[in-house]
Structure formats: structure tokens, C-alpha cells
Structure 1
Amino acid sequence: MLSCKAIGELFGVKGEKFQRQYKHKTSGFKQWNQQEHAQDWLLYPKNITNQLSIDEVCLSMGELYTILTSKAGKGKKRTIIAIVKGTKSDTVIKHLSKLPKKLRDKVTEITLDMAGSMKQIAKKCFCKAVQVIDRFHVQKLVSDALQDIRIKYRWAELDNENTAILKAKKEGYVHNSEILPNGDTRKQLLVRSHSLLYKNQINWTSDQQERAKILFELYPEIKQAYLLASNLRNIYNLKIDKEIALTKLAHWFNDIEKASIKYFNTVLKTFNVHYNEMINYFNNRSTNASAESFNAKIKYFRMMYRGVRDKKFFLFRLTKLFS
């Protein structure tokens, strides 16, 4: 995917001039029937299918847009259904309600994250669709809680080390940090354990296995939290019916309650709020991966143009490619 400027320069034409010619003469931008309201909303009703995804994306300068996409489009033509400026539910609902109700009622499933605004939008605009919270957002919530525990211990060790160094200076001797069997200090151990805590232990390298063994011996709370996160991942990876998943998740909730880990209390409350939408994943094992993948394409497209200076033309090019 190349910018007009890059294509022009490739053929010995002044890039900026070629870009202007394309925009004003050959692209069809001037005849675009949605140009007047493009920066606020864009709708493509013909692309509505049974399964949709809704997510937010940043176009430029931190400005967020809500994007509704069709899973059937697979990130190619006929993928974009709607682009609405902002994430405020009332605004997005107002514009999505312009899509024909007959088409909206055909939607049977919509995947989304745990944002309250997205749930409200889906409920109001696609009232007959089953909402499915993306499994990866659920797992990320648990992983973030695990990483917060690691960071808590890292700050504690950093504070202990600084205190010991200051004490050594005051009393006139050199402080030597404890070196663990794998060559790490405690502070380094906690920093270097970041990536291994995201992985399944069967995918650890030999160095990571050694580091994890030391980490779990020194910080049992991290081990307990890691096992809880791994158990949730294992439940999602199983190809099981919804009823079986309900039972397994109920046991997992009990394990969290027994663990009494402070950082997992918020996880438990969040799960209680979104429980029904989370369980719906086991109906068709649908995720929001298509939306996340499409967002990555938009970011790459934005990078190719080195940012978004002309927002209307950027949106025109985006919809020309993906609607």
C-alpha cells in the first residue's frame, strides 16, 4: 500500500503535484456523496451482515472514532458499515439509528469490548443481536492484574535497594546487591519476568523456566496469580459447550475468592458486571479479533500517509478501499 506521493515519485512525477491531481481530478473525491458530513459520520448499510464487530480507533491527535465492521468482509471490501466521530453513546446511537431498522434487526451477533458505551450502543441499535465480549479483552484484564502484582514487588525491591545503598554510604561501606542463582538481582528478576508471565509455561525458554522457578519461590503471590490467569486461558482454549463453560468458570471464580488477592477483586467485580456477555463467547467462539486487525490496518494506512492532515480525504480513501 503506497501513498500517491510515493507512486508519483516512483514514476518521475513530482509527488505533491501527482497527489493533488489524484485528489481533485481522478479519485472521485469531489463527487463523493458523503463528503458534507464525512468528518462526523459515514454509513454503508449495504455492508450489514449477521455478525458484526464494534470498536474504537484513533485517527489523529488522539481523536477517537467508533467503527462498526462486518466480519464477513474479512478486512477487505464491504467491511466498513459505519464510522462515527467520538465514542459517546448518545452520538453514536443517533447516527447508527439512520441505518434501516430492517437491516439492523437481521444482526444476530455483535462482538465488543467491556466499555459501557459500546454495550449501550449495541443494545439500542442492534436489539436482537447477542452481545459477545471479546475473550482477549477478558484475558488482558486478568493479565494486567498479574502484572500489577509484579510491579508492586518491583517497586518494593527498588525501595529496599535504595534504602540499603543510602545506609551503606552513610556508614561508609559498599553495598552489594544479592545475586540470585540465575545471575539476576531481585530487581532485575522482577523486570525480566514481564514477558514470561504472559506466556503459557510450555512456551518458556530454558532461561525463562529458571527465572520463573526463582520468581515463584521468592514471590508466592505472583505464582498464585499466574496460575489463575493460566487456568482462565485454558478454559477459553477448550472447545466446550456453554453449559460446561459455566461450570468451569464458576469454579474459577471460587478459586479467585479463595485466593484473596487484592488486585483480583476488581477482576471479580468486572466479571460479575459482564458475565452474560462473556459467556456468550462459547456459543460460536466469536472474538473481536477482526475489528482489532482492521484497526491495525487503519493505523498502517495512517502511517503510510505520515499522519492525517486532510481528514475528509483520508476517510474517503479508507472507505474507498474497505467499504
Structure 2
Amino acid sequence: METSPVTCRTLEEFYHIDCHTFEKQYKEVLSGYRNWEQLSHADERMLFPENIGPHLAIDETSLSNGELYTFVTNRDACTRECSLVAVVAGTKSEDVIAVLQRIDEESRYAVKEVTLDLSDSMRKIVRTAFPKACRVID
């Protein structure tokens, strides 16, 4: 389950286990979810500074029930593993900037290009968090 997309229901068929019990055990014990260092604030923000690169993209999206989130991704990772740099609840520039400024200044200044939309909020975020980056409008 860690490296390939296998559902608990598939495991139930092959190994004759209760998929609901296994799913709960996987989340609570095997995955290390309860010991995750970002668990306490994951509903507000998640930050993965180790995934930053010279080419980023920033955009907002609604995941469920109309809640907006701002995503910053590493474009060079091409949506594969390690492409997520940050997720912030909401689109307020001040909130997103506060999260991105937790990344060390040297890494933020090494960003060469950020792809974004025409939103004033996104431009302010990029201008403040990645001041040396060229802005590319999508």
C-alpha cells in the first residue's frame, strides 16, 4: 500500500481479512499518521520545504464543500512524488505568505520562475515570498 495503489478491499479478497478493520489499523498504527509532525496544523497548512525547486506553480482550488486552498507545487516534479511544496487553507495573501516564509530565505531566493494566474493575491504572494522569481501568467 505504501508504494502501489492497492485498496484495502483488494487485500480483503486476497488475504481474507476485514478491510474496514485493516483500513483503520493502517491509518492509526501502520502509516505513522498519529506521529506525523504536521498533524496538529494539517487542516490549516502543510509545508514541504525539501520539495522546493527553481520552477514553481501557485494556484487555488476548491476541494470539497466550497473550501478554498492555495497550492504551491514544484513544476519540475511533474505532479509526481515530492511535487507538493505547500498547501494553505484559504487564499488570503497574508496567510499564504506567512506559511511560505517558513521556508529558509536562501531556498526562496533560488526560485527562478513561478507560474500563476492573474489574481492580485497570487501576484502579491509571489512578489513577497519569491522576490527574485520571474512571474509567468498562465
TM-score between both structures, scaled by the size of structure 2:
0.90
Say yes or no: does 1:82 pair with 2:89: no
Query: Alpha carbons of 1:113 and 1:98: their partners in 2 closer, same or farther (altered >3 Å)?
Result: same
Q: 2:40 aligns with which of 21, 36, 42?
A: 36
Q: Which stretches in structure 2 are left out of the alignment for 5+ residues?
A: none
2:49 maps to which residue?
A: 45
User: Quick check: which one's strand share is greater?
Assistant: 2
Task: Let me know the Cα RMSD of the aligned residues.
Answer: 1.3
Identity of aligned residues (%): 40
Tell which has more relative contact order, 1 or 2 (C-alpha 8 A, sep 6+): 1
- Preserved contact between residue 8 and residue 18 of structure 1 (Cα < 8 Å): no
Q: Secondary structure at the match of 2:63?
A: strand
Q: Distance in 2 between matches of 1:62 and 1:2?
A: 29
Q: Distance in 1 between matches of 2:18 and 2:49?
A: 39
TM-score between both structures, scaled by the size of structure 1:
0.40
Q: 2:103 aligns with which of 88, 99, 105?
A: 99
- Preserved contact between residue 8 and residue 19 of structure 1 (Cα < 8 Å): no
Q: Distance in 2 between matches of 1:49 and 1:43?
A: 14
1:68 maps to which residue?
A: 72
Q: Distance in 2 between matches of 1:3 and 1:92?
A: 34
1:15 maps to which residue?
A: 19
Q: Secondary structure at the match of 1:95?
A: helix
1:23-79 CA distances to partner (integer Å, 9 max, x unpaired)? 011111011111111111111111111100001122221111111000121111110
CA radius of gyration, larger in: 1
Query: Alpha carbons of 1:102 and 1:29: their partners in 2 closer, same or farther (altered >3 Å)?
Result: same
Q: Distance in 1 between matches of 2:61 and 2:79?
A: 15
Q: Distance in 2 between matches of 1:16 and 1:52?
A: 38
Q: Which stretches in structure 1 are left out of the alignment for 5+ residues?
A: 135-323
Residues 1-323 of structure 1: matches in 2 within 5 Å?
1-4=5-8, 6-11=9-14, 12-134=16-138
Q: Distance in 2 between matches of 1:8 and 1:39?
A: 30
Q: Secondary structure at the match of 2:111?
A: coil
Q: Secondary structure at the match of 1:83?
A: strand
State the AA in 2 paired with 1:20. K
Deviation (angstroms), 1:2: 4.5
1:119-145 CA distances to partner (integer Å, 9 max, x unpaired)? 1111110010010001xxxxxxxxxxx
- Preserved contact between residue 89 and residue 118 of structure 1 (Cα < 8 Å): yes
